[in-house]
Amino acid sequence: MSLLRRFVQVDVFTAQPLKGNALAVVVDGGGLSDAEMAAFARWTNLSETTFLLEPTDPAADYRVRIFTPGGELPFAGHPTLGSAHAWLASGGDPKKPGEVMQQCEIGLVRIKRQGARLAFAAPPLRRSGPVEPELREQALRALGLQEAEMLDLVWVDNGPQWMAARLASAEAVLALKPDFIAMKGLKLGVVGAYPAGQELQFEVRGFVPGLGVPEDPVTGSLNAGLALWLMQAGHAPEAYLAGQGKALGRDGRVHVWRDAEATWIGGDVASLIHGQVRL
């Protein structure tokens, strides 16, 4: 039997509505089957839809399941911040003041509250290092690049199997016109630096055609993997601001910094829709 369930839609990585990455959140997700969750995610046709559930880990405040139109993800960044925002706005009371502990398929993810802004601790990379030669050739074809134009191509896999290409500039990143057919099977992020003195240090783009998201507007998991790699490799300072979404008419802002506890991926969340959905 269908039930009316609390539902919200938020815009993540922006304080200005319609400039970030939209997220649908079913606050009362208990009792839904995998097939029902997947069907609703296909129907919303957003890059991700989440379902909030009672945690099974006693350390967690809530559990989340994350679906794209093409399947379920073990972890994703903008759904982490958006789900935490929705849980708090719906009356969630964290066990520990000042932070929220999320349970998802990769385990526990810590979320820090800094006023209205939320930030999650970047999970460790499951796979790192250079990408295999045959995948590098495929990535070059998919991005329409010559070998010399791709400075690096490395794994930054923290669950969603991201690989990351570094280009010479933000301008080069924005100029890309990807071939999504040639990209089949890849989850490919691209990053390039802005000239010194700009508000943004990097421009990021994320491509996931296999999950029904040819280009994601703003991608927390990718930015988390990029942060760990860029800082470790000496390509980024310990605090920076990245932009994503400009190629899609968005203006996402990803706040990144490292302290003694973790590398943090932060962003604002704007609420757009509150209501009920019959599922």
pLDDT in tens, 159-194: 889 999 999 999 999 999 999 999 999 999 999 999
Q: Which amino acid is located at 182 in the chain?
A: A
Q: Which letter, b or e, does each residue of 90-120 get, where b requires 16 or more Cβ atoms within 10 Å of its Cβ?
A: eeeebeeeebbbbbbebeebbbbbeeeebbb
Distance CA 264, CA 247 (A): 25
pLDDT above 70: residue 207: yes
Per-residue confidence (pLDDT) for residue 267, from 0 to 100: 98
CB 219 within 8 A of CB 189: yes
pLDDT in tens, 245-269: 999 999 999 999 999 999 999 999 9
Inter-axis angle of helices 77-89 and 220-233, to 10 degrees?
Answer: 120
Q: Could you tell me if residue 234 is left (phi over 0), alpha (psi between -120 and 50 degrees) or otherwise beta?
A: left
Copy the structure tokens of residue 103: 């349970």
Do 82 and 153 belong together in one domain? no
Residue 60 maps to a domain: yes
Do 40 and 142 belong together in one domain? no
Do 60 and 103 belong together in one domain? yes
Residue 25 maps to a domain: yes
pLDDT in tens, 20-53: 999 999 999 999 999 999 999 999 999 999 999 9
Do 160 and 115 belong together in one domain? no
Provide the residue range defining the domain that includes 92.
4-123+266-278
pLDDT above 70: residue 1: no
Residue 24 maps to a domain: yes
Do 13 and 45 belong together in one domain? yes
pLDDT in tens, 47-94: 999 999 999 999 999 999 999 999 999 999 999 999 999 999 999 999
Do 176 and 83 belong together in one domain? no
Neighbouring CB atoms inside 10 A of 82's CB total 32
Tally the domains of the chain.
2
Distance CA 3, CA 19 (A): 32
Catalytic residues: 48
Do 118 and 182 belong together in one domain? no
Residue 128 maps to a domain: no
Do 176 and 250 belong together in one domain? yes
Do 140 and 110 belong together in one domain? no
* Whether pTM exceeds 0.75: yes
CATH at 197: 3.10.310.10
Determine the distance from the C-alpha atom of residue 169 to the mean position of all C-alpha atoms in its chain, rounded to a whole number: 22
